[in-house]
Structures are given as C-alpha cells and as structure tokens.
Structure 1
Amino acid sequence: MASLTDRVRGNGRIAAGLLLNLLASICIVFLNKWIYVRYGFPNMSLTLVHFVVTWLGLYVCQKLDIFAPKSLPPSKLLLLALSFCGFVVFTNLSLQNNTIGTYQLAKAMTTPVIIVIQTLCYKKTFSIKIQLTLIPITLGVILNSYYDVKFNFLGMVFAALGVLVTSLYQVWVGAKQHELQVNSMQLLYYQAPMSSAMLLVAVPFFEPVFGEGGIFGPWSVSALLMVLLSGVIAFMVNLSIYWIIGNTSPVTYLQRYVEFELL
C-alpha cells in the first residue's frame, strides 16, 4: 500500500510539473512574440535577461533553503551552458522570424531528433509504438513547411538549428543530472550564470548595448515590465524542464510538447 501511495504521489508531482511547464511555455511564447513585435526588443538581450532572472530566482531559492548548492567542476558544465545559450537564442530567433504556428510545429521535430541522438550515441532503444509516432510528427512538419503561406527561409534555418541544439541540450541535461548526482536546481544554479557570462560577452558583437534598440536603451516602463515578466516565466520554464527531464526523460518531456502542438 505504501509503495502504491508513493507511486501515486510521484505521478502527481510529475503531472503537476508537466502542467506548470505547459502553461509557462504557452505564456512565454505569446509574451515573447508580443515583445518582439510590439517593442522590438533585441533577441539575444532578451535571452540574457532570461538567464540572469533564472539565476537570481535560484539564488533566492537557495537563500530560502529550498535547495542546497553542490560544488560542480565548471569544465563539466561548459558544453551544457553553451548549448543552453544556443537552445534559447535559436528558438527565440525562430519565434521572431516565423509565425507562432510554424514555430510550435517545428519544435515538434525535437522528439525525433532526441530519439536519434539517444539511439546512436547512448545506445538506447525505444518501443515500436514510440517509433511509429515519429511518422505523423515528421509528415506534419514537412506539410506545414511546404504549404505555409508565410514561409520564411531564414526562419526555417533558425528553427532547424533550434531543434538540433535543443535536442542536444535536453539529452545532456538528463545525462548531467545523473552523472553529477545533482537535482534540477543544483545543476541550473551553476549552469545559468555560466550561460549568462557567455551571452554577456557575445551580445555586444551582435546587438547594440546602449542607445536606441540596445538592452540599456530608452525603453518604456511597459516594455521593461514585459521583459521582466518574460524573465520570470522563463525561470519557471527552465526550472520545470530540468525537473521533468531529471525525473523522467527527454522523450517524456517532448511528448508533452507534442501533445500541446496537436491541441
């Protein structure tokens, strides 16, 4: 009876995590699109804000004793931090250059790519049922791209890069949590500032920093509030991604995402 109760509680926590991630993901997609269209806030700068707010959120959680930091070697997190930058930057560029529908549908291709990576690199096997689900996903993305009246070649390039980097990132998140024996907060607590530092160095080469259109430009109060809200929601998305993958698998996380695409 005790084991059954534990399983029910565990499944309930996973369901709650999936629901939180679903709601936060929906919110941040529409909010970021609004920020790009309404205010023209630069992409990489917005990503940098997301990373900084994520780290600050985790710092507050650590001070409240919600989790205990664990010392980790930076060399073990370097690729993960770099892929985190690419994951968010390319998906945001895809959102900026595609319609929301195309952006969401393209992300569904992350599931097949993750399965390919785990099969080839980690020798994992998947059931025939899971493999068969890849057929309608792939066909749907191809058909949407072909018949999209607002087809954008640059947008599709960003979408493809986003899918590839996102797939690598999500596989590595699960692998690193098990390799380093850390939970989602402990891993993200060290990885987020590393990713922030990387973007802080890169932003001046691609976007203005001061003046019109720069991260420290003359933005309206409403724009700054929307950017800050986006950062808070990004914190929820990032933390829930780590937690879900750490407690299930990258494929489980992506199955939730595909269900969202089909709604």
Structure 2
Amino acid sequence: MVNKLVFKTYAFEFGTLLTVIHFVCTWLGLMLCARFGAFTPKAVSWRRLMGLCASFCGFVVLTNLSLQYNSVGFYQMAKVLTTPTVAAIQTAFYGKRLSLPVILSLAVICFGVGVASVTDVSMNFIGTVYALAGVLVTSLYQVWVGSEQKALQLSPPQLLYQQAPLAALMLVPLVPVLDPVSKLWSYPLTVGALAVILLSGTLAFLVNWSIFAIIGRTSAITYNVVGHAKLCLILLGGFLLFRDPLDWRNLTGISIALTGIFAYSKINLQQQAKAAAETAARKD
C-alpha cells in the first residue's frame, strides 16, 4: 500500500532506484539491530554470495521487463507460476517431495489467485521469454535463500546483512537502464514524498527480514503461500483504502485462495505434529 502511494500519489516512477533504497534501508536497519544485540554478524566471502545476489538482480530486471512487454493479466499469471516452479526445483534438485494433500491445496491457492488477479491476458514472444525467465530466476532465488542459510550456517538476519549491500551495489548500474533517469533530476522531492519513500524503505527492511526468516525456518513453498495471502490482502486493502474496483470475480478468487491457504496451513501443522510424535516415540 505504501509503495502504491510512492508510485501513484507522489509520482516516483523509479522502481529500480526504489529497490536500491529498500536494500540500503535494510542494511542500515540490520546494522542498527546488530549494534543493539539482536544478532551477531558473521563474515562470509562476497564471492559465495554473488550467485544469490545475481539471481535477485535478475529477478528485479526480468520482472520489470515482463511488466513492460506483457499485459498486466499475463504478468500476474506468470507470477502465479512461481509456486509450481519452486516445487519442481525442490523436487528435482533437493529431493523434497510434496504430499498429495499439499499439492492439491497449492493448486487451489494458485487457481484462486489466478481468478482474483488475472484479467486481460495477451502475449507476445519476447514478453513470454522475459516472463518465463523471470519465473525461473525468482524461483531459484527463493530456493537459494533457504539452501544458503543452511549451507553457510547463517541465521536469516546474518545472511540478509551480507546480501543487502551487495545486491544494492549490483542494482545501481541498472538504474539508468530501467528507470527514466531524465525525469529523476527534475523530480520534486517534497517532505511528504521523502517521508513516504523512507517509510517504504523501513517496511522493506521488515519485509526482507520476514522473507528470509520464513524461507529459512519453513520453506520457499510456504513463503509463496504467504505471498499469495499478501496479494489477497493487497486486493482487499486497495478496495478499502484506495477505492480500487473489486467485483464478484475478485471476491470469488480471494475466497478460493484463502480456503487453499487455510488447508495448506492445517495440513502442514498436522504433518509437523505427526513428525514430532514419531520422533518422541523413537526416543522412548
């Protein structure tokens, strides 16, 4: 909702630059947390993090290009494909197989999100290439966030503290390529605009931390489910706060998606309880 204020109300049209600001704010926020003892930074070779940072930058670039070359409907449909792509990567390369009830609940979620958010679907060759490449890179990034935390034995804030400045630096050269820089120098940076941009950066810090925590402590699939729940809240929030149109199709899709999210959560909790009971029985 705050980003919508930044882009629409204050006409800050520089999405890539805003992403750089987000990661700078994330890094500064983590520095502050580390100073007050929330976590202890752990040194990691920057070369080890280049793949993770590059995949994040690729995700940003390809997402922007997908939105530029595709209709909004096709762009949203491509985003929905991230969930099954993450599941396929985890199954093929990490041996994490999903149970049938989980697969069915994810199918319900994706179907509901599609009904709620996908409108006009028009496609072209170059736009399709960007969209599918964006789905693949985004999925790899989400999987790598979890696997790198385990491989490097880092907590979520420790890994994010190392990645944030590198990702910001890698995105800086892309700002003049992806953003209308000619308009940047004449942008009227009012106190209100600056305040909202800084608020967006502060929220990005909290969101980034939560993303790494969710993926690190659960899985990339669960993070996708949370992301779909967020989309439902964005649609409802847009209707309540900005008077965005919300018709029966949107409401039906949101209801279906939330049903799937509830089922996914219940199934996972039951599986966790069963696994804990089996572990306790083996110890006895």
> 2-side partners of 1:103 and 1:220: how far apart?
32
Greater gyration radius: 2
- The TM-score, its normalising length taken from structure 2, stands at 0.69
Structure 1 partner of 2:86: 114
Deviation at 1:161, TM superposition (A): 4.4
Q: What are structure 2's unaligned runs of at least 5 residues?
A: 233-256, 259-284
> 1-side partners of 2:216 and 2:111: how far apart?
30
Q: Specify whether residues 49 and 158 from structure 1 end up closer, same or farther in structure 2 by C-alpha distance, changes over 3 A only.
A: farther
CA contact (8 A) 1:53 1:232 kept: yes
> 2-side partners of 1:98 and 1:224: how far apart?
31
1:76-130 deviation per Cα after TM superposition (whole angstroms, max 9, x unaligned):
110111122233455567678876x987665333221100111112222111112
Write the letter of the residue equivalent to 2:138: T
CA contact (8 A) 2:113 2:228 kept: no
Aligned with residue 199 of structure 1, among 164, 171, 178: 171
Structure 1 partner of 2:119: 148
Write the letter of the residue equivalent to 2:4: K
Give 1:71-110 correspondences, 5 Å limit: 71-91=43-63, 106-110=78-82
Write the letter of the residue equivalent to 1:258: H
Structure 2 partner of 1:222: 192
Q: What are structure 1's unaligned runs of at least 5 residues?
A: 1-29
Structure 1 partner of 2:35: 63
Write the letter of the residue equivalent to 1:224: L
> 2-side partners of 1:223 and 1:95: how far apart?
24
Give 1:10-21 correspondences, 5 Å limit: none
- The TM-score, its normalising length taken from structure 1, stands at 0.74
1:35 matched to 2:9? The reply is: no
Write the letter of the residue equivalent to 1:31: V
Q: Specify whether residues 104 and 235 from structure 1 end up closer, same or farther in structure 2 by C-alpha distance, changes over 3 A only.
A: farther
1:117-157 deviation per Cα after TM superposition (whole angstroms, max 9, x unaligned):
11112222111112223444555566678x72486869877
Aligned residue-pair number: 230
Structure 2 partner of 1:258: 228
CA contact (8 A) 2:90 2:96 kept: yes
CA contact (8 A) 1:87 1:165 kept: yes
What's the Cα RMSD here? 3.2
